[in-house]
Amino acid sequence: MVDVLMKSSESCVKGYWKGISTAYPGLFIDVESQTILLNKDRANRVALVSAGGAGHEPFGAGYVGENMLTAFIGGALFAAPTAGRISTALLNIAKLNKGGILAVIMNNTSDMLMFGLAIETVRVKGVQIESILVADDVAHLDADIKNGYLSRRGLSGSVLMFKILGALSKNGRSLKEMVLEARCINCRTCSMGIGMRPCKYPGHNQTMWMLDETSVEVGIGLHGEAGLGRLQGVSTTDLVRVILSQMMRIFVVKPGDDIVLLVNNLGSCNEMEMYTLAYELEQQITSKGINVLRTYVGHFLSTLDTKGANITLLNISGREDWLRFLDQETEAYAWPVTRLSRINDKIPKALTSLEVDDKLPEVDSMVLTEREGNTFKSTILAVCRQLREEKDKLNKLDSESGDGDTGNAHLSLADAFQNNIGNIPVRNLGMGFLIMSKLAENCGGNTSAALYSLMLLGASKSATDWASAWIGAVEMLRKYTIADVGDRSYARCPHPSLLGVRFVFERIWGRELAKSVELCSGQSHRRM
């Protein structure tokens, strides 16, 4: 793997803080002490503060903003900030937030010790401060925890906690009320991680954990810690079944409950993977009789560029106020805008489904005699036959510079024309071209077909005579391609493909027409 932007963990962390201080001048960002805070006098409001090591971005700088975190103090890579930095930040925050401070601490030893030390330090200086521990990971259930080896780690449930508590703070709730609500949120949250490709440490070549290529680690921690176990060659459906079965064991969520679902990208999943996972989760949760009232999908809490995800369920049954707090907008840059995450009953829906209108327009057209029409028809069929015969040759020619499917593309076009020859009104040139254009449009969505469809559409619109139709075809095509004479791309260049078409016209309709085509082709220009 490459280290172009990841020379060392120190340079990465420093670069990150310098970068956010550039990108978000609306916040107070002290690069040196890695402190970010809402730089305004919030009167008697309660400050909501968190802290944690680097490598989990956008957590937590991305959540600083009104209606979410008041401040965040960052550490070195995967290491809590020192107590000194935290206490300095807390003392400054206390001056701007006279309602006291609620510290949200991830259940991680060093975070707890450093934050604890800072809390005790500022408390003796008169700062009113309380703390809450986020412990939402249910990869290891209580039985294991009682054995003393493991405990519930803090995962992406923290982000929902930030959002609800931030709104409570903005709404003027007291520190005492916020502590009680935080405990309640904690009890109603459960999360679990899955990992599919490990990240690696900046400046090193080794990956953070090991995984063979077909497995997924279920219950993985935020630093790659092993979890519940590994699944191999599993389907999305079965993977989700395993995750939910573990999550349901703790009875935080049960049938009939209303929940919020958060699907967090640990780093390198693409959006197709994330929403595929979110959909499968939503389906299986719903099938258990649980109502998913909001689904949030995005980059909330990462482990560098790990390919994996965290799944969080928050039980909001009977707590419509929490839902309202989640919906309240925040300026924090990492919280997705949520107005579209819900149905707005105030705005009447304009559509319930897409209407399809495939009526063909009227076109002015030259009308052919029966004999001329039959010649046109047999010409179309002759071209189709020729395309069918030349399929392999066209594929071969294309394979030398393209993906070798031009013959196939023309074959499907030939099939479409031939199979529908009875529907092409060959005596009405304009309508004939228009219907051929539609046939080309609907024959597979390949670029060649679109190209002919456009030409035929152009021809249909100026089919008062053959030469005008040809000009219309060429001009229409050039309008939507930017290549020019001499270009070697088939699709981008009307000219070389026109040569072939001209060849056919020449043979059948004579040199006069071909000459006029040549003239027109030279005159036409891109009008787009």
Cβ-based nearer residue to a copy of itself, 255 or 354 = 354
Q: Which of the residues 361 through 380 are near a copy of itself (CB under 8 A)? A: 361, 363
- Candidate residues 98, 128, 131, 467; the one interacting with a copy of itself per rule CB under 8 A: 131
Residue type, 312: T
Smallest distance from the beta carbon of 11 to a copy of itself, in angstroms? 7
- Candidate residues 98, 128, 203, 273; the one interacting with a copy of itself per rule CB under 8 A: 273
How far is Cα 435 from Cα 40, in angstroms, rounded to an integer? 66
Q: Which of the residues 162 through 191 are near a copy of itself (CB under 8 A)? A: none
- Binding range to a copy of itself, per CB under 8 A, among 156-164, 273-281, 316-324, 379-387: 273-281
- Reply yes or no: is the peptide bond before residue 432 cis, omega within 30 of 0: no
Give the per-residue contact string, 217-236, with a copy of itself (x = CB under 8 A; - = no): -----------------xxx
**What is the CB neighbour count within 10 angstroms for residue 458?**
24
Size of the site for a copy of itself (CB under 8 A): 159
Cβ-based nearer residue to a copy of itself, 155 or 363 = 363
| Contact call for residues 185 and 323 (beta carbons, < 8 A) | no
- Binding range to a copy of itself, per CB under 8 A, among 290-298, 390-398, 409-417, 500-508: 290-298
User: Does 396 participate in binding a copy of itself (rule CB under 8 A)?
Assistant: no
- Candidate residues 207, 295, 375, 524; the one interacting with a copy of itself per rule CB under 8 A: 295
Q: Which pairing describes strands 101-106 and 129-134: parallel, antiparallel, or unpaired?
A: parallel
Give the per-residue contact string, 433-472, with a copy of itself (x = CB under 8 A; - = no): ----x---xx--x-x--xx-xx--xx--x-----------
CA angle 199, 266, 231 (to 5 degrees): 80
Report the run of H or E that residue 11 belongs to, with start and end: helix 9-23
Per-residue HEC secondary structure of 298-365 comes to ECCCCCCCEEEEEEEEEECCCCHHHHHHHHCCCCCCCCCCCHHHCCCCCCCCCCCCCCCCCCCCCCCE
Radius of gyration (C-alpha) of the chain in whole angstroms:
32
| Contact call for residues 211 and 308 (beta carbons, < 8 A) | no
Residue whose token pair is 């001056």: 95
Cβ-based nearer residue to a copy of itself, 282 or 506 = 282
Q: Which region, left, alpha or beta, applies to residue 243 given φ > 0 means left and ψ of -120 to 50 means alpha?
A: alpha
- Candidate residues 124, 251, 287, 422; the one interacting with a copy of itself per rule CB under 8 A: 124
- Binding range to a copy of itself, per CB under 8 A, among 1-9, 251-259, 386-394, 412-420: 1-9
Smallest distance from the beta carbon of 82 to a copy of itself, in angstroms? 4
| Contact call for residues 319 and 163 (beta carbons, < 8 A) | no
User: Does 43 participate in binding a copy of itself (rule CB under 8 A)?
Assistant: no
- Binding range to a copy of itself, per CB under 8 A, among 111-119, 394-402, 416-424, 514-522: 111-119
User: Does 18 participate in binding a copy of itself (rule CB under 8 A)?
Assistant: yes
Smallest distance from the beta carbon of 522 to a copy of itself, in angstroms? 16
User: Does 243 participate in binding a copy of itself (rule CB under 8 A)?
Assistant: no
Q: Which pairing describes strands 307-315 and 258-265: parallel, antiparallel, or unpaired?
A: antiparallel
- Candidate residues 26, 229, 289, 500; the one interacting with a copy of itself per rule CB under 8 A: 26
Smallest distance from the beta carbon of 318 to a copy of itself, in angstroms? 22
Sheet holding 189-197, edge to edge: 229-232, 215-218, 189-197, 307-315, 258-265, 291-298
Count, residues in the chain: 528
Smallest distance from the beta carbon of 385 to a copy of itself, in angstroms? 26
User: Does 98 participate in binding a copy of itself (rule CB under 8 A)?
Assistant: no
Smallest distance from the beta carbon of 469 to a copy of itself, in angstroms? 15
Torsion of CA 205, 209, 212, 214, to 10 degrees: -120
In the chain, the N- to C-terminal Cα span, in Å, equals: 43
Smallest distance from the beta carbon of 410 to a copy of itself, in angstroms? 15
User: Does 22 participate in binding a copy of itself (rule CB under 8 A)?
Assistant: yes
> Which is it for the CA torsion 371, 373, 377, 380, positive or negative?
positive
Smallest distance from the beta carbon of 333 to a copy of itself, in angstroms? 5
- Candidate residues 4, 287, 318, 370; the one interacting with a copy of itself per rule CB under 8 A: 4
User: Does 331 participate in binding a copy of itself (rule CB under 8 A)?
Assistant: yes
User: Does 339 participate in binding a copy of itself (rule CB under 8 A)?
Assistant: yes
* Cβ-based burial of 388 (10 A; exposed 0-12, middle 13-18, buried ≥19): middle
User: Does 52 participate in binding a copy of itself (rule CB under 8 A)?
Assistant: no
Cβ-based nearer residue to a copy of itself, 22 or 378 = 22
Q: Which of the residues 397 through 416 are near a copy of itself (CB under 8 A)? A: none
Could you give the C-alpha distances from 400 to 225, 397, 448, in angstroms and in order? 50, 6, 17
User: Does 528 participate in binding a copy of itself (rule CB under 8 A)?
Assistant: yes
User: Does 100 participate in binding a copy of itself (rule CB under 8 A)?
Assistant: no
- Candidate residues 318, 344, 370, 522; the one interacting with a copy of itself per rule CB under 8 A: 344
Beta bridge partners of 132: 104
